[in-house]
Amino acid sequence: MTVIRIGICVLITFAVLAHGAVEPWSQAILETGAAALFLWWSVLLVTRKTSEISWSPLLWPLLGLVLLGLLQIFVPLSVYPNLTRMELLRVAVYLLLFFLFSQAFQTARHWAGFTWFLILLGFSVAVFAILQDLTSNGKLYWFRELRFGGIPFGPFVNRNHFAGLMELLIPIGLAILAVRGVAKQMLPMVALCTALPMGALFLSASRGGIVAFGCEILLLVGLLWLRRGEKRQLLTFIAAIVLAGGLVGWLGVDQVLKRFTAIHNVEVTESRRVSMMRGGWHIFVDNLWTGTGLGTTISVYPRYETLYDGKIVDHVHNDHLEVLAETGIVGGICWLAFLGLTFGIGLKNLSIRNEPLTHAVQLGALVACGGLLVHGFVDFNLHIPSNALLFYLLAGISAANPILDLPS
């Protein structure tokens, strides 16, 4: 299982650094890597080097979406089966890696290793993003031209998707600081590795990201407040927040405010977002039960265009509405079931007194999922493979059964 654990971490890192794995070449590598890891797990199963299969209840609604996608292709229910086929392949990769993660990360020691991986990933990407922003020449990695436009930040073409990644990674560190999930001498390191991503998130000037992060803070404080014995620890992670504010102040508050003004003059306007969401709703109403097909928004939307600006609309800037438009009521039920199980089981797990790090990881994972779902009302992070993959893995962590340290 060590190969699978390392492989999953490598694929996550690759997806993040490859601009979120939104291009065909990076998606192909992600798909090939997932297939290779599943093949290796199959070999371990056949050779009896692993015998138990861990099944998460969250897999059922995801399997429901995959089955719906297959029906959309073969019945056919999709208006563009080829687009649905490509999107279904991406969803299958998330499902496959989710399943493999459940098999490979089952003990507190495994979770601890994955937690440090996420913390260091967030810190490293944030450092890179800040350095690139300070020395920016308008190109990705200082050499790749933006052929189709964009407002880049870090390895992402769209700064809102960088913010989405930070929303997924920051709560883990905050939860560790809040419940003191690591040794006392390690807390300053966790605080630093958490503060820098927070500062980078604010420097990205993503309004949706900042609002979603604010919701994460409120959710984290609320969950801690409900648990006895942790009220005194509510102030623990404030040091990290103050440190992040100091970073923004050191770089210049005026400069950050100017970034908001300059960026918002060239990004999608509020009226345009409302128009896209209205179009997405009309797509859903016209295709009520099974939608137009996974991945078909880019081809279906022009018929529902009400505010034409000459730009291609590939997503309606609302993840939840796009699920309804592409999969209808059936897909909406699967999506609600997934969210219900995630938060229902996640909240139940938080009521159990696990060892501190396990509790912190599950708390941070649940908060991270909540933050990205809030951001999903105004953006499409769940259609960015790197962010979508992390979201599903964190959902799996929050809803996993309390784990014990077992032999590796």
H/E run at residue 17? helix 2-17
Q: Given this model, what pLDDT does residue 255 score?
A: 53
Distances (CA, A) of 274 to 24, 211, 377, 397: 29, 18, 11, 34
- Tokens standing for residue 397: 């962590």
The answer to whether residues 98 and 393 touch, using CB atoms and an 8 Å cutoff, is yes
List b or e across 355-373, with b for residues whose CB sees 16 or more CB atoms inside 10 angstroms.
eebbbbbbbbbbbbbbbbb
Q: State pTM to two decimals.
A: 0.91
Tokens 């801690």 belong to 224
What are the tens digits of pLDDT across the range 248-267?
665 555 555 665 565 555 56
- Tokens standing for residue 182: 């690591």
What are the tens digits of pLDDT across the range 162-219?
999 999 999 999 888 888 777 788 888 888 898 889 889 988 888 889 899 989 988 9
Q: Given this model, what pLDDT does residue 327 score?
A: 95
Q: Given this model, what pLDDT does residue 119 score?
A: 95
% the chain with pLDDT above 70? 85
In 3-state terms, what secondary structure has residue 156? Answer: strand
Q: In angstroms, rounded to a whole number, what is the distance separating the alpha carbons of residues 320 and 327?
A: 11
List b or e across 203-214, with b for residues whose CB sees 16 or more CB atoms inside 10 angstroms.
bbbbbbbbbbbe
Alpha helices in 75-148 (DSSP H): 81-104, 108-134
Q: In angstroms, rounded to a whole number, what is the distance separating the alpha carbons of residues 253 and 122?
A: 23
Q: Given this model, what pLDDT does residue 178 score?
A: 83
Q: Given this model, what pLDDT does residue 376 score?
A: 94
- The parts of the chain modelled with pLDDT lower than 50 are 229, 406-408
Q: Given this model, what pLDDT does residue 312 score?
A: 72
